[in-house]
Amino acid sequence: MLTDPRGVVAGAFPSLLERFALMFCEPGERKGLRPGATPAFGARSFLHGALRGTFEIALPLALAAEVASNVLGETVREAASLESREAVRELASVVSGHLAGLLTPGENACRPSVPEVRVLDGAAWSALLHSEDSQIFMVEDQPVVVRLALERIAR
Amino acid sequence: MGYSVLAVDDSPLMRTVIGRTLRMAGISVAAFHEAANGREALAALKATWVDLVVTDLNMPDMTGVEMVAHMAEDGLLKTVPVIVLSSLGEPGTLSTLRSMGVKACLRKPCSPEDLARAVRSIMEVPHAH
């Protein structure tokens, strides 16, 4: 029995972000967001096993640097640094790992791939933002987009 | 005299965090080795003695589970304490890891205190004051 994916993301992501990077977020809206106005990192991993799908997360470079700073305990000044990129990849790994477990509780049948990170151009940022599978979270005035698209459930 | 520790994680950021956490917790680390996956870790373990391994599971090339399985089959490496630090929490996988000798399984995101507590418990290190 599959738990509601949107509900799982909405319930799990704020807590995971807080524990991972000491950051607080709340649900946001697409309205007013201007994709492409600021460069962003996007990380993607694929869920495989009984449950198949795609997990993506995107956040502005400046916010990624804040995540890296909080994880490392020291200021990361360069937004597009390796530390920022790695922080986004690790955040994606942590969140996708937890979601996989929450979506198939008690089973041993769903596992995420190692996330890949890229810099999103305006079109990619916009597509992710407007995907029907995406959910928006706001860390103060900066958006985090989380997308979980499930393809198939094997029985 | 400090411990020789091997951190195995495909994220250099997390390897850095592991090293800092151990040092900030007052655990004496004489040598800190790093590996980006299980294969690199096994090579490092054959080249140098390590007192403790802290490993992720979901890594490219060779996963943490595969690495632990190789260690369990090696007469010498199976005596090296292993702590798993991963976002994956499948009960079956964790049970398998424990059966192969893993001392502790921690779930990311894990607090520095939790990691330090596990290391102290396994290595019998007294609390820092």
pLDDT in tens, B6-60: 999 999 999 999 999 998 888 899 999 999 999 999 999 999 999 999 999 999 9
Q: Which B residues, 80 through 119, put their C-beta within 8 Å of a C-beta on chain A?
A: 86-93, 108-109, 111
H or E stretch at B13: helix B12-24
Residue pLDDT, tens place only, A39-67? 899 999 999 887 889 999 999 999 999 99
| Window A:74-133, CB contacts with B under 8 Å | 82-83, 86-87, 89-90, 93-98, 100-101, 106-108, 111-114
In angstroms, the CA B3 to CA B23 distance is 11
- Model pLDDT for residues B87-120, shown as the tens digit of each residue: 988 888 899 999 999 999 999 998 888 999 999 9
Query: Cα–Cα distance between B8 and B11 in angstroms, integer?
Result: 9
Measured between beta carbons, which residues in chain A are less than 8 angstroms from residue B88? 97, 100-101, 111
Q: What's the whole-model pTM score? A: 0.91
Could you give the CA distance from residue A130 to residue B67 in angstroms, rounded to a whole number? 41
What ipTM was reported for this prediction? Answer: 0.86
